């Protein structure tokens, strides 16, 4: 059984790159000691998801825009997440002079 190949690149190449990006992002979220760096990790993970969605759209179902709608909403969610997350970090930094999430063990400031 031959695989569908686009311009000489099979689908699983994209999937593996996306998996790599996702795992690097995951490490960023879990392992960094800085809240902004953790959010950067989240953005990397969202990008990996987008690569997967567009790859599947292009290879499997290019005739329906379902995946594209998902990608657009991931864009929206990523923007909203970055906006609110960074606003929170700035606010917390103003009050505690720290962006280390481990130090945020109080319920209020």
Partner 1 sequence: MTITLQTIIFALLSVVVLGSALFVVTTRNLFHAALMLILSFFGVAGLYVLLESGFFAVAQVLVYIGAISILFIFAVMLTRGMVAMPRVNAQAQLAALVSVLLFVVIVVIVNPTALSIKVLPGASERVLGGIPWQFTTVTTITDSYIKQFGASLVDGSAYLLPFLLAAVLLDIALAGAVQVARERRPAEVLAERELMAAEAAEEQQREQALDTAPETVLAADHH
Partner 2 sequence: METAVRTDFGFVGVMFVTAFLLMAATLYAASLLRPKKPNKEKLSTYECGMETVGDTWVQFRSQYYIFALVFVLFDVEVLLLFPIAVAFGSLSLFATLQAMLFVVILLAALLFAWRKGVLEWK
Residues 82-101 that bind partner 2 (CB under 8 A): 82-83, 86-87, 90, 94
Q: How many CB atoms lie within 10 A of CB 40?
A: 16
Binding mask of the shown chain, residues 4 to 43, with x at each position contacting partner 2 by CB under 8 A = ---xx-----------------------------------
Partner from partner 2, partner 1, none binding residue 95, C-beta < 5-8 Å depending on class? none
Contacts of 14 (CB under 8 A, 6+ apart): 51, 52, 55
CA distance 101 to 104: 5
Q: Please, are residues 84 and 31 in contact by the beta-carbon 8 Å criterion?
A: no
Binding mask of the shown chain, residues 40 to 79, with x at each position contacting partner 2 by CB under 8 A = --------------------------------x--xx--x
């Amino acid at each position: 059984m031959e695989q569908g190949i686009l311009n000489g690149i099979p689908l699983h190449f994209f999937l593996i790159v996306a998996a790599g990006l996702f795992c690097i992002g995951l490490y960023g979220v879990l392992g960094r000691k800085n809240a902004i760096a953790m959010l950067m990790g989240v953005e990397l993970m969202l990008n990996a998801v987008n690569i997967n969605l567009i790859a599947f759209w292009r290879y499997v179902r290019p005739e329906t825009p379902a995946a594209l709608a998902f990608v657009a909403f991931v864009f929206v969610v990523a923007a909203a997440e970055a906006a609110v997350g960074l606003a929170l970090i700035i606010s917390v930094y103003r009050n505690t002079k720290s962006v280390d999430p481990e130090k945020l063990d109080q319920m209020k400031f």
